[in-house]
């Protein structure tokens, strides 16, 4: 769509950039270098909504006829969040936990204008088939999922080969609930 206002995507995710571009909007991208820690009291969508809002606050003031989009995604399983892995062993541990089980992926997206902030959340349930140690190691070595919550990207080999069911939006798992973004941007009033 042709936007008559400025859009800024405040995200380091190449996947979010690719998805927003696929909606055919013109936008600028900036990287926010901020601390993403949160209280251990927060659970599930509370985490992603809190972080999307903190990113928005970190961005600061917004000009007229501009919308800043922030987002956060977590993998939630067994009452805890699976963050981005710090190393090979952590990635292997996470993927072993996901193997043969279901989990939820939450993505919250924040929209900040000069006078408003709104956050919307979507989640998708994902089920992994059982994975052998060899399959897990192959995936980590070849796809290096160290920038991905839960140590995987659904669009990668592991999603194609080892995820047999999802309930919800595929794009929410990738990190941007595109249906929510499109609906917001098409109906925004300045």
Domain boundaries, the chain: 6-187
pLDDT of residue 151: 96
Q: Mark whether 147 is an active-site residue.
A: no
At the topology level of CATH, where does 6-187 sit?
Maf protein (3.90.950)
d(CA 123, CA 108): 9
> 152: helix, coil or strand?
coil
Which pLDDT tens digit goes with each residue over 45-61?
A: 999 999 999 999 999 99
Torsions phi, psi for 24 (to 5 deg) = 70, 35
Say which residue the tokens 């925004």 belong to: 188
Instruction: Pick the closest to residue 150 from 77, 53, 63, 50 (CA basis).
Output: 77
Can you tell me which residue has the tokens 């206002």? Answer: 5
Q: Is the pLDDT of residue 147 over 70?
A: yes
Cα–Cα separations (whole angstroms), residue 130 to 41, 74, 161, 171: 31, 21, 11, 23
Confidence category of residue 3, pLDDT binned at 50, 70, 90: confident
* SS3 of 57-125: HHHCCCCCCEEEEEEEEEEEECCEEECCCCCHHHHHHHHHHHCCCEEEEEEEEEEECCCCEEEEEEEEE
pLDDT at 175 over 80: yes
In this prediction, residue 170 has a pLDDT band, given cuts at 50, 70 and 90, of very high
The pLDDT-based confidence of 1 (bands split at 50, 70, 90) is low
Which residue among 72, 133, 147, 164 is the active-site one?
72
Residue 73 burial (CB count, 10 A): 27
**pLDDT, tens digit (0-9, with 9 covering 90-100), for 70-112:** 999 999 999 999 989 999 999 999 999 999 999 999 999 999 9
- Going by pLDDT thresholds of 50, 70 and 90, the confidence category of residue 190 is confident
């Amino acid at each position: 769509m042709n936007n008559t206002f400025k859009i800024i995507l405040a995200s380091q995710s190449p996947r979010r950039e690719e998805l927003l571009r696929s909606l055919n909007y013109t936008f600028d991208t900036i990287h926010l270098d901020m601390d993403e820690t949160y209280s251990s009291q927060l659970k599930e969508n509370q985490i992603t909504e809190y972080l999307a809002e903190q990113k928005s606050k970190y961005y600061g003031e917004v000009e007229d006829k501009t919308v800043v989009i922030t987002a956060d995604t977590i993998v939630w399983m067994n009452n805890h969040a699976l963050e981005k892995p710090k190393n090979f062993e952590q990635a292997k541990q996470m993927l072993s936990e996901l193997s043969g089980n279901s989990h939820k992926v939450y993505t919250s997206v924040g929209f900040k204008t000069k006078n408003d902030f709104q956050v919307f959340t979507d989640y998708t349930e994902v089920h992994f088939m059982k994975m052998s140690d060899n399959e897990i190691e192959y995936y980590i070595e070849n796809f290096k999922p160290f920038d991905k919550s839960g140590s995987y990207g659904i669009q990668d080999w592991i999603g194609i080969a080892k995820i047999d069911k999802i309930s919800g939006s595929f794009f929410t798992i990738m990190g941007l609930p595109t249906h929510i973004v499109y609906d917001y941007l098409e109906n925004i009033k300045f």
